[in-house]
Structure 1
Amino acid sequence: MWKVVFSCSLVILALSATLHVSFRAPPVTMSRSALPTVMNAIRVARFGGPEVLKLESNVPMPQPSEGQVLLRVHAAGVNPVETYIRAGTYARKPELPFTPGSDAAGEIADVGAGVNNVKVGDRVFTRSAQGAYAQYALASAGDVQPLSAKLTYEQGAALPVPYLTAYRALFLRGAAKTGETVLIHGGTGGVGTAAIQLALSQGLRVLATGGTDAGLDMLRTLGVHGAFNHRQSGYTEQIHAATDGKGVDLIVENLANVNLDADLRLLALGGRVMVVGNRGRIEVNPRDLMMAEGDVRGVMLFHTTPEEYVTSYAAIQAAVDSGHVRPVIGKRFPLGESPAAHDDIINTSGALGKLVLTVE
């Protein structure tokens, strides 16, 4: 009898030691009964410029219903689409007033009925927070993902839209294959750095463009095979030469209204352009597309199916575990400086990673 107890004790001690080494201790969280009744949140009462983003301190705390979780937000990702929604120029307009943001990382503060995939205190990130620019936000339990202990909350907030978009552009829409050459046009921003890391993780030869010396240095640090200044005259010839005149197999395009015409002349035979970002119209010569027998394909994360989300998250989590994915955080703004963050993401002269809001 004593031998059995002693053996069980050794097993428990061994497991405890293993868990202690492999995982961080869970964060200390308040009990459900200690949750506040009001919170700080950014509210938008009318569509307009960044100035309509107002920090309010008495916003009622949301309560999770069946199938929902309440997330204590520590960081929120800022995406260009949120500036269009705020301005009222996006195709879908939220009901006023509203709290912007969908990308968030934090810890589970409460769960609704029927939720058993996460528990209070878990570190998670999500693409579907119902108002991420706040201290607390609701999300569907099925849309929260475990946040690796290898990543900070800020890095977790940088994962959803940028990495899901990059994966969709590269592999779901772009059908990238190991050994192909991909050009990440605008490689220094959130989606750009995500695309670089995911492409390198799958054995692609990666070329990328930036607009500043600091941006080019960052691209080289990320491990690209070639970094080019898209503000420099003749940069497309340099890219073409880097492919020995064959052209690139795949382009991830973050500003199509500026670059698409030149993109078509960079394509290898059968090459594809994935349009991820665009802010206006552009004139192109279809003959360039004919010469390459190329494709121009739009990429919209909204069209991702549930099955594709499962595939995408699995690939991203695997790349995090292997060390290939480490979101690059560019600028950090406190929650109250959301207007400055919205101005920066549209008007910056050169992004250097993902822009996030920090939430106290």
Structure 2
Amino acid sequence: MTSVGRSIMRAVLVRQFGGVEQMKVENDVPIPSVGDKQVLIRVFISGVNPVDTYIREGVFVVRPDLPYTPGYDGAGVVEAVGKRVTQFKPGDRVFTSHGTQIGTLAEFTCADETRVFPLDDKLTFTQGAGIGIPYFTAYRALFQKAHAKKGERVLIHGASGAVGLAAVQIGKAHGLCIVGTAGTKEGLELVKNMGADAVFNHREKQYMAQLEQGEKFDVILEMLANVNLGKDLTLMSPRGRTIVIGSRGTVTIDPRLLMGLESSVMGVALLTATPDEWKDLTAGVVEGIKAGWVKPIVDKVYTLEEAGNAHHDIINSKGAKGNLVVKVQD
């Protein structure tokens, strides 16, 4: 029994890998126990990311033991702490990512202290659930992989999605020139309002020709490499870097386009980050929260019973406009 006063909770469970129909809300899931260096969080909002759907389908590199509760990201209040926890106390507002004992589509989750972060009062729990994977991925892509420097030109394909908007905010805060693409009028306006220096509609036939006619890019963040990677190689400046953040299939490219410019293509994944890299990227994002440039945009909030709909929509959206999140409890 925890300080919660009960031993079970409501949570989404997946008992078999597959489609969204495998996600069921159950009312008698055990509340996780708290280890010495762990924090028990009362989850108010759970973030939804594409990787959550890949794991549920059983096609991701990580396959959790069944049954499992989905969700890497979440925000809420500290319920209890282990005896060796020094950074948090019950009642603290926090968000978490990539370190929970049970997924965040649950009333309570338990996370390692190193994966729990303070949530400033200026941000809501709904916004807090949209920080983790989007901002950590964007920060890692820009600075730990691309080593972007002030003044460099950055193209963000799919800039109206959660990771794309995070990259726009991070890039502008660090003096980068940001060009973003989106597929709807609303998405383009959102990217522009976040500070992008220029925006292009990637559903228009001429947008790539327009990009090719302009100044080349030092860094490209690619959310759909199976569609765009071949074109990206024509847009890079000498020693340009394309960072692959998302891909849903294979693609054919001409490697000779990399040779003459000594440009490069590399992937990014939070799961491969070392402890030191985690410290660096989380410190950068937490500093951004304090400075005020971390401002997650939430497109839609779902109920716990609608978590499967959120999984469907994040993959099948015709025009992303920020984060999708699930309200777990009041």
Identify the TM-score tier after normalising by the shorter chain.
Answer: over 0.9
For the Cα contact (< 8 Å) 1:236–1:266, is it kept in 2?
A: no
Unpaired runs of 5+ residues, structure 1, are 1-30
Query: Are positions 1:96 and 2:75 aligned together?
Result: no
Query: Are positions 1:153 and 2:122 aligned together?
Result: no
Query: Are positions 1:76 and 2:46 aligned together?
Result: yes
Query: Are positions 1:305 and 2:277 aligned together?
Result: no
Aligned-residue offset at 1:34: 4.7
The aligned length equals 327
Equivalence for 2:251: 282
Corresponding residue SS for 1:292: coil
Query: Are positions 1:264 and 2:236 aligned together?
Result: no
Equivalence for 1:294: 263
Paired-residue identity, %: 45
Matches within 5 A, 1:103-182: 103-127=73-97, 128-129=99-100, 130-182=102-154
TM-score by length of 2: 0.96
Corresponding residue SS for 1:132: coil
Corresponding residue SS for 2:210: helix
Equivalence for 2:205: 233
Equivalence for 2:24: 54
For the Cα contact (< 8 Å) 2:46–2:129, is it kept in 1?
A: yes
Equivalence for 1:350: 319
Over 3 Å counting, the alpha-carbon distance change for 1:95 and 1:283 in structure 2 is: same
C-alpha distance in 2, partners of 1:195/1:34?
Answer: 38
Q: Deviations over 1:91-132 (max 9, x none)?
A: 221111111111111110011222222110011111122211
Aligned-residue offset at 1:169: 0.5
For the Cα contact (< 8 Å) 2:239–2:262, is it kept in 1?
A: yes
C-alpha distance in 1, partners of 2:283/2:66?
Answer: 35
Over 3 Å counting, the alpha-carbon distance change for 1:71 and 1:33 in structure 2 is: closer
C-alpha distance in 2, partners of 1:335/1:286?
Answer: 46
Tell me the amino acid that sits aligned with residue 26 of structure 2: E
The list of structure 1 runs, each at least 4 consecutive aligned residues, that deviate by more than 3 angstroms after superposition, is 31-34
C-alpha distance in 2, partners of 1:43/1:32?
Answer: 21
1:206 to 155, 178, 183: 178
C-alpha distance in 2, partners of 1:236/1:108?
Answer: 48
User: As a proportion of its length, which structure holds more helix?
Assistant: 1
C-alpha distance in 1, partners of 2:273/2:61?
Answer: 17
For the Cα contact (< 8 Å) 2:158–2:223, is it kept in 1?
A: yes
Equivalence for 1:85: 55
Tell me the amino acid that sits aligned with residue 117 of structure 1: Q
Query: Are positions 1:65 and 2:29 aligned together?
Result: no
TM-score by length of 1: 0.88
Over 3 Å counting, the alpha-carbon distance change for 1:38 and 1:32 in structure 2 is: closer
Query: Are positions 1:330 and 2:299 aligned together?
Result: yes
Q: Which range moved further: 34-43 or 164-173?
A: 34-43
Aligned-residue offset at 1:142: 2.2
Tell me the amino acid that sits aligned with residue 62 of structure 1: P
Computing the radius of gyration from Cα coordinates, the structure with the larger value is: 1
Q: Deviations over 1:24-52 (max 9, x none)?
A: xxxxxxx9645332111000011110110
Over 3 Å counting, the alpha-carbon distance change for 1:33 and 1:83 in structure 2 is: closer
Tell me the amino acid that sits aligned with residue 182 of structure 2: G
Tell me the amino acid that sits aligned with residue 359 of structure 1: V
Corresponding residue SS for 1:280: coil
Corresponding residue SS for 1:317: helix
Corresponding residue SS for 2:260: helix
Aligned-residue offset at 1:337: 0.5
C-alpha distance in 1, partners of 2:124/2:314?
Answer: 21
C-alpha distance in 2, partners of 1:33/1:96?
Answer: 27
C-alpha distance in 2, partners of 1:350/1:237?
Answer: 22
Equivalence for 1:318: 287
Q: Deviations over 1:277-316 (max 9, x none)?
A: 1111001112222232210011111111111111112211
For the Cα contact (< 8 Å) 2:3–2:79, is it kept in 1?
A: no
Q: Deviations over 1:239-298 (max 9, x none)?
A: 23442xxx1110000110010011001111111100011111001112222232210011
Tell me the amino acid that sits aligned with residue 225 of structure 1: D
Give the aligned CA root-mean-square deviation in angstroms.
Answer: 1.4
